[in-house]
């Protein structure tokens, strides 16, 4: 499972979070019709590729990983069509924000970057393909972008935060600390509202202090592994969270 992130696309923090799916946000972007303009000088969405090239993920109209395949002044972003449906690679007017720059939409970001709508504040992150890892050194493809049908194979790169899964010490209103499913990395992202014991898909579907157990498909409380009273009322924390040596789940 992972983290979910929803923008004009939906994001999810991956486990990719296995016992968790962490970020999923939904973003929307504007997709323009690929018709020639009145002067015959190009197509209205700024794309120059004809779809015959196959890219690693996101669609074949342009390349989301480096923003290429678009005409001057445009870049490739992973956005939802104006009328709804599954997100896809689309040429839009380009922005300038790079890794960590605050944003409100994908087009605030430079080619190769998308806006992480799950973070608080929202910031630009490099696009990546969930099946591989093209992320900068020290980062992982930990935020999964989702559409109406679920995971899209497209993600955003993020470095691990230093938050505590049990203490839940993230700053920012409504933020929670969740595992990403990539080793022992964790991220501070907008917390979910699903209570412990209820069904979930992504790690950050759950309320802060809990995560989504991929085995049961339910939110479970995070605890200090080995603590004899880690789950309260004399119940030990004895189910280890994948990727960690000191964090477990109350089952």
CA distance 143 to 72: 29
Tell me: the pLDDT tens digits for 25-77?
222 233 333 332 322 222 334 444 455 567 778 888 899 999 999 999 999 99
pLDDT, residue 133, reads: 61
Q: 50, exposed or middle or buried, with CB in 10 Å at 0-12, 13-18, 19+?
A: exposed
CA dihedral 103→109→115→121, nearest 10 degrees, is -30
Out of 48-52, 88-92, 95-99, 125-129, pick the least confident.
Answer: 48-52
Give the pLDDT band of residue 210 (cuts 50, 70, 90).
very high
Report field, pTM of the whole predicted structure over 0.75: no
Length of the chain: 251
- Report pLDDT digits (tens) over 118-175: 777 889 999 998 766 678 877 888 788 888 888 788 989 988 888 999 999 998 888 8
pLDDT of residue 44: 36
Q: What confidence score (pLDDT) does residue 176 get?
A: 93
Contact (CB, 8 A) for 90 and 62: yes
Most confident listed range (3-12, 41-50, 191-200)? 191-200
Q: What is the mean pLDDT of residues 232-244?
A: 92
Mean pLDDT of 72-94: 91
Lay out the sheet containing 113-116: strands in order across: 23-27, 2-8, 10-14, 139-147, 150-159, 123-129, 113-116
Average pLDDT for residues 95-120, to the nearest whole number? 92
């Amino acid at each position: 499972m992972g983290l979910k992130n929803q923008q004009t696309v939906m994001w999810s923090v991956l486990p990719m979070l296995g016992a968790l799916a962490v970020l999923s946000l939904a973003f929307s972007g504007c997709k323009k019709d690929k018709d020639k303009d009145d002067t015959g000088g190009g197509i209205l969405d700024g794309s120059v590729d004809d779809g015959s090239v196959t890219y690693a993920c996101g669609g074949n109209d342009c390349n989301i990983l480096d923003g290429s395949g678009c005409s001057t002044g445009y870049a490739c972003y992973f956005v939802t069509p104006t009328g709804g449906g599954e997100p896809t690679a689309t040429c839009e007017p380009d922005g300038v924000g790079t890794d960590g720059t605050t944003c409100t939409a994908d087009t605030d970001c430079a080619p190769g970057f998308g806006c992480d709508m799950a973070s608080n504040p929202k910031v630009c992150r490099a696009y990546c393909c969930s099946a591989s890892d093209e992320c900068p050194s020290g980062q992982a493809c930990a935020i999964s972008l989702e559409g109406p049908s679920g995971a899209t194979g497209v993600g955003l790169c993020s470095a691990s935060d230093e938050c505590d899964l049990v203490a839940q010490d993230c700053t920012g209103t409504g933020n929670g600390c969740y595992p990403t499913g990539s080793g022992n990395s964790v991220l501070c992202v907008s917390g979910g509202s699903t209570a412990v014991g209820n069904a979930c898909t992504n790690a950050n579907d759950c309320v802060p202090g809990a995560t989504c157990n991929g085995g049961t498909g339910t939110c479970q409380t995070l605890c200090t592994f080995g603590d004899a009273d880690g789950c309260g009322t004399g119940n030990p924390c004895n189910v280890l969270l994948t990727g960690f040596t000191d964090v477990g789940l109350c089952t």
